[in-house]
Chains A and B, each alone.
Chain A
Amino acid sequence: MLLAYLPFMLYPYGFFRSGVAALWSAVFLWGTLFFFWFTRRLFPGRLLKQAFLLWLVVWGQAAWSLTGLSPFWILSVYFMTPVSFLEAEVKPGHVRVFSKDVPRYFFERAMTGIGFVFFVLAMVFVREIGEKSSRLKIFCQPAGLLFVVAGIALLWKSNFFLKFSNTKQIP
């Protein structure tokens, strides 16, 4: 997720446009996984990865030509794509969502896309506060957001939210 966010740091957009770009990336990710999940057996093994890269590049060109969106987002999609999904032998396990059996693979990819959109929006919000409201010069360059990401990663690794909720439960 953090690697996928790094190319999005390069977009100078505000809250709404960044959200639209992130949503497009998530939708494109789902479309890519859907397309290749059902067609991967049609490609010879050696050409499958090249086909995937060509797919990214062609859609990058299309998005640039039609909307003017710089193609940094294809790098985000590349990082969000699971490593093994191009292998024909991969078969999804199942997970129960609202009492229904959903293939785990698709559930996780759906969560990846949604989580990515919210993460991008949160970071844009932080940047807007840092740059415009607080006028911190460090947010005029990547260092500001990198420090924020470092803080988020630290909280995640130290299970801060788990410890916090456990502390609240102790009477």
Chain B
Amino acid sequence: MYPTIIALSFIMALRGTRPAALQRPIEGLRRVWRDAIDLFLTLSLILVLAAGAAALNSTRVTGVEYEFLGFSAAAYLLSRYQKKTDIFFLVATLIAFTIHGKKSDLLSGLSLAWAVSVCSGFFQTGLLGLRYRLLFSGVPASMRGWPMLCLLAGFLSVVLWSVAKLVF
């Protein structure tokens, strides 16, 4: 689960949100955590709907067979209602699908969704903070952009791994 969180959080940090300018870190921080909460709410609703479909005899078989389609439909409607980007919709679908594959019990799934959203929020916060600090550093031109982003993401992954081992 941990690689899923890091990779998809990195994607969300780069393309999933409507970012604030790096020069306004407080605004960016607010958006990161708002998106983390929105992600948790989206995942929770999807998992609850999946549990509801599994509980009903009439939808159980169809729900299992077309699981990914059902998750996508729910994630699409929720992301459009929240005015989120396409990447948010795709990432939420994939995370919900992965969680459901690991934890079929609703309560465990919701706990995992909570842990995933918080971990994603911390990752994006760390990335935003480090990028803000680097604005004032003399980073060589060849290091700017993707090299620095991947380096920062790698370091954050190492740091969060020590905490995540306790959870995942």
Contacts and interface: CB of A to CB of B under 8 A. Distances in A.
Interface stretch (B22-30, B37-45, B108-116, B155-163): B155-163
Contacts of A71: 68, 94, 97
A149 interface: yes
Contacts of B87: 78
B7 A9 contact: yes
Chain A interface helix/strand/loop/mixed: helix
Contacts of B76: 53
Contacts of A168: none
Given A53-B76, A78-B90, A141-B157, A157 B147 contact: yes
Contacts, number: 104
Interface string B1-19: 0111011101100110000
Chain B interface helix/strand/loop/mixed: helix
Interface residues of B, number: 42
B81 interface: no
A143 B142 contact: no
The range of chain A's interface size is 35 or more
B134 interface: no
Given A146-B153, A157-B142, A75 B147 contact: no
Given A53-B76, A75-B94, A143 B68 contact: no
A75 B65 contact: no
A157 B145 contact: yes
Interface of A: 2-3, 6-7, 9-10, 49, 53, 56-58, 60-61, 64-65, 70-72, 74-75, 78, 138, 141-144, 146-147, 149-151, 153-154, 157-158
